[in-house]
Amino acid sequence: MKAKTNSSPITPNLFQPENLEAITSAITEATERGRAAVEANFKTWQDESSRFVEQMSAHGEAALKQLQACQSPLDVLAVEQSWLQARTQAYMDSGLRFAKVFANFAQDVSKPAKSAEAAPPPASPAP
C-alpha cells in the first residue's frame, strides 16, 4: 500500500506573527482612512440634504401662493408647469451636487492608497 504524499506546492503560512501583523496593519489603515473620509464628507452630505429639502419647501410654498391668485384653469396649469419645472431643476441640481460629494468621498478614500503605491521603494541599507 502506497503512502499518500502531499503534492501541493509549499505555500508560506499566512498565520505567522509577522504576516498577521502586516494584515492587521493594512486593515487598520484602511479602516482609519475610510472613517476619516466618511467624517469629512458627512457634513457636506447633510448640508446638501437640508438644502434640497428647503428648496422643495420654498417651491411648494411659492406655488401655493400663486395658486391662490389664479383666475382660470389656464392660470392653474401655468402655476403647475412652473412648479414642475422648478422641481425638476432642483432634482437635477441636487443629483449633481450629490454626485460631486460621492466623487470626493471616493477620491478621499483612494488618495492615500494611490500615494503609497506611487511612492518610491525605500532604499536598501548599504553593506
Q: How far is CA 45 from CA 3, 39, 53, 96, 121, in A?
A: 64, 10, 12, 12, 37
pLDDT tens for 64-100 read 999 999 999 999 999 999 999 999 999 999 889 888 8
pLDDT tens for 26-42 read 788 877 777 777 777 78
What pTM does this model have? 0.55
Whole-number Å distance between alpha carbons of 96 and 99: 5
Q: How big, in percent rounded to 5, are the helix, strand and coil portions of the chain?
A: 75, 0, 25
